[in-house]
Structure 1
Amino acid sequence: MSFGDGKRVLVTGAASGLGAALVAAFRSRGDDVLATDRVAGDGIDLVLDITSEPDWAAAVEAVRERWGGLDVLINNAGVAGGGRVDLCTLDEWQWITDVNLFGAVRGTRAFVPLLKEQGSGHLVNVASLAGLVHPAGMASYNATKAAVVAFTETCGHELASYGIRASVVCPSYFRTNLVASMRGSDEAVGRLVAGLVERSKVSAEDIAAAVLAGMDAGEDVIVPDEAARQAYFLKWADRSAYDAVMRDQAAKLRAGAES
């Protein structure tokens, strides 16, 4: 299925980063996009806080009034967080879970009745490579993104008979302002993540282009960049080597925190 023929698309977290890049990529192919974010701003068509069920209900009504239906729902909005298991607080766990996991759950639950009515649609949930491989110091983030991967696969099985597809996107680190939203008591993890994002040569536009290509190719799990593909391949091809890499990273995190 090609998504360059006037599809109706809703994107969350569209004010910047990958969300803004996705909006631009879809529009460049002739799709009609409703760009949403939790605060109003330039380029935002609808205010949508993904932690608010009333906001999601209003988004469904806005889509019905504007288009009468929806072809693609992109659950992109999310936040960064993390911390070693004894340093990441339960409040931090609850915050990141409410946004990263339940944001996608709320959006999917809000729109599935409409998609079932029309007998078509494509759910696209933006997770992370952290949903497939699980580095030290990121348990809360890893857990939410792994849950999004599992949730998306489940939706794909459950909704296939209604003509609805589901894909999950799992990029590695790329240049974005996601780190600005990061919370956490473990400052060493924050420094580590910020450095990885800064050093990445991959842009949000690169990831957006790969997402559209993956959707066109019918991929259920879209791993959009080479670093992510290599890490995922290593995990299932050579688990002992993968474990060694992850534990070396954990050792470096400890050394950095203690220095």
Structure 2
Amino acid sequence: MELTGTTIVITGAASGIGAALARRCADERPANLVLADRDIEGAGAVVRSIEDGVSGQCVAWSLDVGREGANEAFIAEVEANIGPIDLFVANAGIATGASEQGDDATWDAIWDINTMAHVRSARALIPLWLERGGGYLLTTASAAGLLTNLGDAPYSVTKAAAVAFAEWISITYGDRGVKVSCLCPQGVRTPLLFPPGQEGEPAPLAADVVRAMNIIEPEEVAEAVLQGLADERFLILPHEEVGRYAAHKGTDRERWIKGMRKLQASLV
């Protein structure tokens, strides 16, 4: 995909991977760039740092992707007031550190943000893209969606669902002009993994596992994404080892599960 002259929307754009993607996309001279986040001040700061690289509108937008109806209304307003969306980056996400014992409110909240926000956005975008003959959906999932995340059942389940949904959209509409990429990084130095003000404090198991692995910077993820979009590749893996792990899992799931149990036992 060529980003120059396009209208790009990025959710979860106030920090981390979303902010890095915004900065990298701005380098490609898009026509319009919309950065949405619950943290409107953070999104506004990113806008001010990159707006000179955008030929048209570069705006921050207050958006809670987990709220029912919010994604559809947001997309309708962008289409009406900014321009037809060419690339939609469904990047917003949260973690919980919960097990199966997490209450329904915890499961509902992460389900709405990590999975249903993608469904609701696609529900609004797909008819528009089919009518126009094309569009591009970039889903930020996680290596947890291909593997698992020890210590966080809701995160593992919702990210696996996000991967499955991205696959379904690609299979169903790929021959009709709708392109899909699914981003599955492992450890990235973001506020999700390293919350501000919590340096030196004991980390939940889920974060502790990832922190012990190969941590890369958000800018490295953004660069991998731009290459993946240029190649129009479905699976974008900034950590190449994730592909190998997923292959091992698919070849011998029994052995993989035993290995994950052994890893967990060494950490608790």
User: TM-score, structure 1 length as denominator?
Assistant: 0.85
Matched, 1:213 2:212: no
Distance 2:192 2:142 in 1: 12
| Residue equivalent to 1:82 | 97
Is the CA contact 1:127–1:170 (under 8 Å) kept in the aligned structure 2?
A: yes
| Residue equivalent to 2:88 | 73
Secondary structure at 2:9 match in 1: strand
Q: Give the 5 Å matches for 1:160-239.
A: 160-179=174-193, 190-194=204-208, 196-197=210-211, 200-239=214-253
Deviation (angstroms), 1:239: 4.0
Deviation (angstroms), 1:245: 2.5
Alpha-carbon RMSD: 2.4
Deviation (angstroms), 1:170: 0.8
Distance 1:50 1:76 in 2: 10
Secondary structure at 2:40 match in 1: coil
- Aligned residue type for 2:181: S
Matched, 1:145 2:144: no
Structure 1 unaligned residues grouped into runs of 5+:
182-187
Deviation (angstroms), 1:221: 1.6
Matched, 1:16 2:15: yes
Aligned mate of 1:58, from 63, 73, 79: 73
| Residue equivalent to 1:184 | none
Structure 2 unaligned residues grouped into runs of 5+:
48-58, 196-201
Is the CA contact 2:10–2:89 (under 8 Å) kept in the aligned structure 1?
A: yes
Deviation (angstroms), 1:14: 0.3
Is the CA contact 2:75–2:121 (under 8 Å) kept in the aligned structure 1?
A: no
Instruction: Give runs of ≥4 in structure 1 deviating > 6 Å.
Output: none
Deviations 1:167-189 (A, max 9, x none): 211111111001478xxxxxx87
Secondary structure at 1:49 match in 2: coil
Distance 1:229 1:35 in 2: 30
The alignment covers a number of residue pairs equal to 247
Residues 192 and 131 of structure 1, relative CA distance in 2, 3 Å threshold:
closer
Is the CA contact 1:136–1:247 (under 8 Å) kept in the aligned structure 2?
A: no
Deviations 1:56-104 (A, max 9, x none): 233223322344311111000000123333x333332222111111111
Matched, 1:117 2:116: no
Matched, 1:96 2:110: yes
| Residue equivalent to 2:29 | 30
Is the CA contact 2:186–2:210 (under 8 Å) kept in the aligned structure 1?
A: no
Distance 2:72 2:110 in 1: 22
Q: Which structure's relative contact order is higher, taking Cα pairs within 8 Å and 6+ residues apart?
A: 1
Secondary structure at 1:144 match in 2: helix
- The farther-off stretch of 108-117 and 118-127 is 108-117
Distance 2:212 2:12 in 1: 21
Distance 2:69 2:246 in 1: 37
Deviation (angstroms), 1:36: 0.7
Percent identity, please: 32
Distance 1:55 1:93 in 2: 19
Distance 1:3 1:81 in 2: 36
- Aligned residue type for 1:17: G
- Aligned residue type for 1:4: L
Secondary structure at 1:178 match in 2: coil
Deviation (angstroms), 1:160: 2.2
User: TM-score, structure 2 length as denominator?
Assistant: 0.82
| Residue equivalent to 1:185 | none
Deviation (angstroms), 1:250: 2.1
